[in-house]
Amino acid sequence: MARSNPSTTIEVLAKTSLENILLINKEGYIVFQSESLTHNFGYPPNSMLATSILSYLKQKDQLFLAQAMENLIGKEIDSIKGETTIRDASDHKRYIHYVAKRQEQYIAWRFFDITAMKKKHKQQLEAVYIDDLTQIPNIKGFERYITNLLKRSTSQAFTIFKLDINDLKVVNDMLGRDIGDQVLISVVKRIENFLGHRITFLARLEEDAFGIVVRRMTDIQEIEALGRELLKHINGQIVIQEYQLVLSVSIGASFYPEAGQTYKDIMLSTSQALQIARQKEEEQLEVYTPFESEKAYRMFTLRNELLRAIEQQQFTLYYQPIVCAKTSTIISAEALIRWIHPVWKVVPPNEFIPALEETGLIIPLGEWIVRSVCEQLSQWHEQGYKIRASLNMSAVQLFNEDIVSVVKEGLVTAGVDPSYLTIEITETIEITKKSVFLQTVENLRALGVNISLDDFGAGYSSFSKILDLKPHVLKLDRSMINDIETDYTSFEVTTALVSLAHRLNMQVVAEGIETATQQKVTADVGCDLLQGFLFSRPIPSADFLQLLATHEPLTPQ
């Protein structure tokens, strides 16, 4: 196309200006370029002439700018201004701010490069969406990502996993936030190492929770399989500085579109699944399905009514007998907390104990349990039943400096000899080298009470716990007893543990006895005491008193 000659005045202005200037004729073609375009954008002198200005600009802005320049030429408007992108001589995208005005029969484009400013702004904006500690996106970034996914007209199915670190609050409170932060960083590494390229998006949602997005996955069995593998890869021993911990997580999952059509609905479904997963004793994994909504509502209601339940004395103690392996005589009773809810009736502890520990309400409720068990022991002894009683204590309680004086006061007030009381210790994230924890256990032992290591053989139990706690009683988890009559390995491991415990002057309690065969085998391998449904389920104290009066020993056959 032939080149038109702009007026001398405009040409002189363009040549002497430091601005980037293009002169455009009424057909939209460049008829003049300023010398600054060579320095700033790399275009050789006159190399842009006779080409359309639109060919250099962002494609989605071309229609608008073509119409705007036509209006300028037609004198319908005086100027246009805004931001767009322009290609430089190396075909790189550059952000510009432009002002276009009518100059005689031409349009004069003046613009300057704002690419550096845009990049800096983008970096600042991205920083808002990044978690400072883990350097992965935060909850704002997660919401932005999911919301953008949902906005797409061709939205494909995706699955969200919400992963919660169990007992991180305990670690932060007892060992310090620095240790807790290292746990968080370790979890991120384990997630990334396991999932790798399968992760579409990973973010930190809360203090102890992460969100994972996996695209094109909606089959429940496939989701559950991936969730189980994730649990297996993350759960386990972890060493932070001098502390040996056992890491444990819970996972809730939901998938779009079944979980909801909005970010809020999808996250609510995922959180509901997570809350259900956290109540499970073993595999803490749950995939959301609509029929789980009532269960999630129940859990939400219970969680928010804990303080009122304590104030209104809705908690009570049930007792389960522990019998002599040889004679089946009731030797002891384990105290188990129950919540008698006005609507939901008897609520089992796995539905509220985690919330009690998180909120710290386990401290006052635990003190009530100690006093109640001591009083109950006193009543049984006065009625002629000289049995023992045991109660569970979590790490939250054992890190409470007042717990030893609470136990001492409870025993003295009730007039009970300390040897009749057993403290059962069990942990999910095990803290074995914390001096305060071990000192508390030692102080309890000094009172004369017995220490029992509960659930031994479950999860990640190790012999180091025996060395640290030096318990009087070793309580074998029911998982070791389930197949003892048919599985050779279970039989041999149990036999070896009983022998070792006896050499260390420890009594052995076998939990989960449900059949006469299990009773006989555990008695034969040397277990001292037995506990399970074969003898009785946990029952209220009044029923337990009647059981003491009418109990007929079940002699192993």
Residue range 351-393, pLDDT digits in tens? 788 788 878 889 999 999 999 999 999 999 999 999 999 999 9
The predicted pLDDT at position 330 comes to: 95
Q: Which residue has the higher pLDDT, 554 or 512?
A: 512
pLDDT of 302: 74
pLDDT mean across residues, the chain: 86
Report which of 250, 241, 271 is spatially closest to residue 180, judged by C-alpha positions. Answer: 241
The answer to whether the beta carbons of residues 355 and 365 sit under 8 Å apart is: no
Indicate whether 6 pLDDT > 70. Answer: no
Top-ranked range on mean pLDDT: pick from 177-186, 196-205, 211-220, 434-443: 177-186
Determine the pLDDT at residue 473: 94
pLDDT band of 429, cuts 50, 70, 90: very low
Q: Where are the alpha helices (DSSP H) in 448-534?
A: 463-469, 478-481, 488-503, 516-524
13/93: higher pLDDT: 93
**Strands 330-341 vs 421-425: parallel, antiparallel or unpaired:** unpaired
Q: Tell me the one-letter amino acid at 3.
A: R
Kindly tell me if the per-residue pLDDT of 222 is higher than 50. Answer: yes
Q: Name the token pair of 249.
A: 């997580």
CA distance 557 to 341: 41
By mean pLDDT, which of 9-13, 130-134, 156-160, 203-207 is the weakest?
9-13
- Asked which of 4-13, 164-173, 416-425, 490-499 is least confident by mean pLDDT, the reply is 4-13
Higher pLDDT pick, 238 / 122: 238
User: What pLDDT does 118 receive?
Assistant: 84
Q: Which pLDDT band, with edges at 50, 70 and 90, does 51 fall under?
A: very high
Please give the domain boundaries of the chain with CATH numbers for all domains. Answer: 8-118 (3.30.450.20), 130-303 (3.30.70.270), 314-547 (3.20.20.450)
Q: Name 295's bridge partners.
A: none
DSSP string for residues in 231-255: HHHHSEEEEETTEEEEE-EEEEEEE
For the cut 50, the answer to whether the pLDDT of residue 427 exceeds it is: yes
SS3 96: strand
User: What's the angle, vertex CA 47, arms to CA 43 and CA 48, rounded to 5?
Assistant: 90
Query: d(Cα 531, Cα 520) in Å, to the nearest integer?
Result: 13
pLDDT at residue number 242: 81
Taking alpha carbons only, the member of 272, 268, 193, 263 closest to residue 233 is 193
Amino acid code (one letter) for 149: L
Residues 6+ apart with CB under 8 A from 459: 246, 248, 428
Tell me the residue type at 411.
L
Lowest mean pLDDT: which of 63-67, 127-131, 132-136, 510-514?
Answer: 127-131
Percent over 70 (pLDDT), the chain: 90
Question: Residue 360, Cβ neighbours under 10 Å: how many?
Answer: 12
483: helix, coil or strand?
Answer: coil
Q: What is the pTM of this model?
A: 0.56
For residue 2, name the pLDDT band (cuts at 50, 70, 90).
very low
> Between 403-414 and 362-382, two packed helices, what is the crossing angle to 10 degrees?
20
Class of residue 39 by CB neighbours under 10 A (exposed 0-12, middle 13-18, buried 19+)? exposed
pLDDT in tens, 269-311: 898 889 888 878 778 999 887 655 556 666 667 777 888 899 8
pLDDT value of residue 498: 92
151-172 per-position pLDDT tens digit = 875 567 899 999 999 888 888 8
Question: What does the pLDDT read at residue 554?
Answer: 59
| Cα-based distances in Å from 278 to 126, 238, 275 | 33, 21, 5
pLDDT value of position 343: 78
In the prediction, which pLDDT does 296 show? 63
DSSP-based helix, strand, coil % in the chain, nearest 5: 45, 25, 30
In which band, very low, low, confident or very high, does the pLDDT at 557 lie, cut at 50, 70 and 90? very low
Per DSSP, the three-state class of 211 is: strand
Residues 237 and 465: their CA atoms lie apart, in Å, by: 13
Measured distance between the N- and C-terminal CA atoms of the chain, rounded to whole angstroms: 109
Peptide bond into 45 cis (omega under 30): no
At 300 the pLDDT is: 66
Q: How many CB atoms lie within 10 A of CB 103?
A: 16
